[in-house]
């Protein structure tokens, strides 16, 4: 058994504010079975604050684990396939950091001078028996300079004027294709758009969203005014060993489709990126016919079972543990312990995209899992945010 006292003196104030990386093998879950989902290699990496080292040692022992090594986070050796890095572990290099940021294209085209793309394809994503209208559409970018990365958005300027005679304002939409486009020729961009429809609470009249209706009614050959790209919050980590947890509702699936295509479908276009981590998608929808990109997603689970897992939360068809409708937060709660274990790895990133308000239920589920280890979830999440491992884009 590794002696944690070898990692530092209890009387050292320098160590009191530090965290350590435990390399552990042999951990078992609550049913006594090894959790192969998280550790294909048999090794678990656990980040532990100094003041919890003894408690964590006791917990690991109870779970049948063995500590192989303990290293200060800021002194982690990065060798071979087991290298572990976080933003805080890397020396701060302002020049290097600025160079990385400069590679992210932002606002190549602005509202006063948008790029005029052309719709090349549009098709329905909601199948018979589903709720609402949602369409996938692709725009040709040939002849322009609009380049983008997975996780970014573009702006669409609908034609016409509002009731006050002003030109319609642009709306932002998450990009659903990789930087290479659906045609893999670096000349297109795709969106996943739900048509906004609701009844006015006062008049009862049907109201349709200006931009979403415009987009969903496009035909191939139509011109579209495009701005952007924008956004750095949802960028996919370049580390091919990263674990990526994706939590989506409805059209929040758009950036995750881009992630998954980059991870699994574009090997020939990305020889320097060979995804080796775990991608785990949680997808909340009202009915089975509303599972957007269903065939694509389920095909990936069959083709890459060791690297891609997907769980649906189908609110009008599934029940949660209390007998009510199954929403995304309930599905997260079902797997909260495994997710908690997974996010201990400093190479795990969590992304949330979809309807505003979904964050609260997710926080509640993960808070319960963290509490089992005497960890306060909110400050822990804030620390993940500082480490650029917790990403949220809701609307």
* pLDDT score of 59 more than 50: yes
Residue 389 CA to residue 158 CA, distance in Å, equals 35
- Domain spans of the chain, in order of start: 4-78, 115-230, 243-394
* pLDDT score of 17 more than 60: no
Q: Tell me: the pLDDT tens digits for 128-165?
A: 999 999 999 999 999 999 999 999 999 999 999 988 99
Query: Domain 243-394 belongs to what topology?
Result: Rossmann fold (3.40.50)
Q: Would 115-230 and 243-394 be classified into the same CATH topology?
A: no
Q: Tell me: the pLDDT tens digits for 256-273?
A: 999 999 999 988 888 888
- The pTM score is 0.76
Edge-first strand listing for the sheet containing 43-49: 43-49, 19-25, 66-72
Catalytic positions are 173-174, 353, 393, 395
φ, ψ for residue 146 (rounded to 5)?
-80, 100
Q: Tell me: the pLDDT tens digits for 100-120?
A: 334 899 999 999 999 999 999
pLDDT value at position 268?
Answer: 81
The SS3 call for residue 74 is: helix
pLDDT value at position 39?
Answer: 41
Tell which wins on pLDDT, 307 or 14. 307
CATH homologous superfamily for 115-230? Translation factors (2.40.30.10)
Is domain 4-78 given the CATH code 3.40.50.2300 in the classification? Answer: no
Residue 107 CA to residue 177 CA, distance in Å, equals 18
Residue 1 CA to residue 69 CA, distance in Å, equals 10
């Amino acid at each position: 058994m590794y002696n944690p006292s070898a990692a530092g003196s209890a009387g050292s104030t320098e160590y009191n504010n530090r965290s350590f990386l435990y390399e552990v093998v042999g951990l078992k879950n609550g049913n006594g079975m090894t959790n192969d989902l998280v550790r294909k290699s048999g090794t678990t990496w656990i980040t532990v604050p100094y003041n919890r080292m003894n408690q964590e040692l006791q917990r690991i022992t109870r779970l049948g684990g063995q500590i192989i090594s303990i290293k200060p986070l800021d002194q982690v050796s990065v060798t071979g396939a087991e290298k572990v890095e976080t933003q805080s572990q890397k020396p701060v290099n302002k020049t290097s950091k600025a160079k990385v940021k400069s590679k992210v294209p932002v606002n190549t085209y602005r509202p006063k001078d948008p790029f005029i793309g052309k719709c090349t394809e549009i098709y329905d994503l909601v199948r018979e028996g589903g709720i609402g209208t949602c369409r996938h559409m692709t725009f040709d970018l040939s002849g322009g300079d609009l380049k983008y990365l997975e996780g970014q958005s573009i702006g669409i300027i609908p034609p016409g004027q509002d009731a006050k005679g002003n030109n319609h304002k642009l709306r932002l939409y998450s990009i659903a294709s990789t930087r290479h486009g659906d045609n893999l020729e670096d000349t297109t961009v795709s969106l996943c758009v739900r048509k906004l429809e609701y009844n006015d609470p006062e008049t009862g009249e049907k109201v349709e969203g200006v931009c979403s209706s415009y987009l969903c009614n496009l035909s191939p050959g139509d011109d579209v005014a495009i701005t952007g790209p924008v956004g750095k919050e949802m960028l996919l980590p370049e580390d091919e060993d990263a674990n990526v947890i994706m939590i989506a509702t409805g059209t929040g699936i758009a950036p995750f489709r881009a992630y998954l295509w980059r991870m699994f479908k574009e090997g020939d276009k990305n020889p320097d990126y060979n995804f080796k981590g775990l991608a785990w998608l949680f997808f909340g929808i009202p009915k089975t016919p509303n599972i957007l990109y269903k065939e694509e997603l389920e095909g990936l689970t069959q083709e890459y079972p060791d690297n891609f897992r997907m769980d649906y939360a189908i609110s009008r068809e599934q029940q949660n543990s209390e007998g009510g409708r199954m929403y995304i937060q309930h599905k997260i709660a079902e797997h909260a312990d495994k997710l908690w274990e997974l996010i201990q790895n400093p190479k795990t990133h969590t992304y949330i995209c979809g309807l505003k308000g979904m964050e609260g239920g997710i926080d509640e589920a993960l808070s319960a899992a963290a509490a089992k280890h005497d960890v306060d979830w909110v400050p822990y999440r804030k620390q993940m945010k500082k480490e650029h491992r917790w990403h949220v884009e809701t609307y």
